[in-house]
Amino acid sequence: MFPESVGELTGSQFYVVAQNYLSYQLELMDYKTMCINIVYGILNMRRSIDTSNEQAYNLVRNVHYLSMVVQDFFEKNNESVSLKLDFTNNPLPEINIKGKIFKGPDMLISGLSFGNYIQAINAYNDYARFNDASDLHKLIGALYSPKDHNTLITPQSLDPVQCFMIFLFFAATQHFIVNATAMEIGGGAVVNLAQLFKDTGNNKDSGSKFGLIGALYELGKEGTFGSVENVENRPAWDVLVRMAQLHEAGIKMKRDAKIKRNKNNT
């Protein structure tokens, strides 16, 4: 069945989308051509312009219809086109470089330490701001770790399309986190992670004004996870949830204090 959203794409299908979307961004093809090429790539078919027989004509007609479906993978805003970030699974959970396996998150930031999350978000912000390939490689290095812990990812060893896939995945991850107003954490409890990013204005998804490093040291002082080093090594989800809980507790404390002052003044 043909995927109807980005979240339904398999890893190989996402590669096709990323490859053509990257070519579109580099102005190597127009939007319509990109969508048609994505259809052929997902169907694993070679593009043909032969409409001399009924079968070929029907194929072209069906491809045109499916290209309309592909357009739903993207958002158009004036002259800009962006991939919808409505997916949470990593389309590239592992990278194989010359027999070395680099393992990344399967979904969002699962398996990622808070320290690596800080490195990833800083590299992501820098790459989005300066478009320096070295920052993209830092992002990938923060997300993917070799199983033998002795091999480094080098720029020469990476497929440009895979790099772009990883960037899009982390963009979707951040998009999810900064919009998670009621994320379930088990036992019927929910937590609002979005409140941690509410002051970032137009750059909400990047988290560029989110004081992650400051939070690292504050949590080290707070003691829930132990030392600063322990906080760095804790799963990123655990730390973000704790930060949200402390934030909510602080808001409640201020609200209760205000109510108490108002009562005393009446």
pLDDT at residue number 148: 53
Kindly give, in sequence order, each residue whose CB lies less than 8 Å from that of residue 174, ignoring residues fewer than 6 positions away: 121, 124, 205, 206, 207
Residue 237: closest CA among 133, 33, 80, 88:
88
Give the N- to C-terminal CA distance of the chain in Å, as an integer: 67
Could you tell me if 177 and 208 are in contact, meaning their C-beta atoms sit under 8 angstroms apart? no
Rounded Cα distance, 40 and 79, in Å: 25
Could you tell me if 139 and 120 are in contact, meaning their C-beta atoms sit under 8 angstroms apart? yes
pLDDT at residue number 90: 97
- Using a 10 angstrom Cβ sphere, with 0-12 exposed, 13-18 middle and 19 or more buried, the burial of residue 235 is middle
Give pLDDT tens digits along the chain (266 positions). 999 999 999 999 999 999 999 999 999 999 999 999 999 999 998 876 565 676 777 888 899 999 999 999 999 988 899 999 999 999 999 988 878 888 999 999 999 999 999 999 999 999 999 999 889 989 999 999 765 555 567 656 788 999 999 999 999 999 999 999 999 988 888 999 998 877 544 454 454 444 666 666 677 667 777 777 888 889 999 989 988 888 888 788 888 887 878 878 76
Residue 180: closest CA among 163, 158, 201, 205:
205
pLDDT at residue number 250: 79
Helix (H) or strand (E) holding 199: none
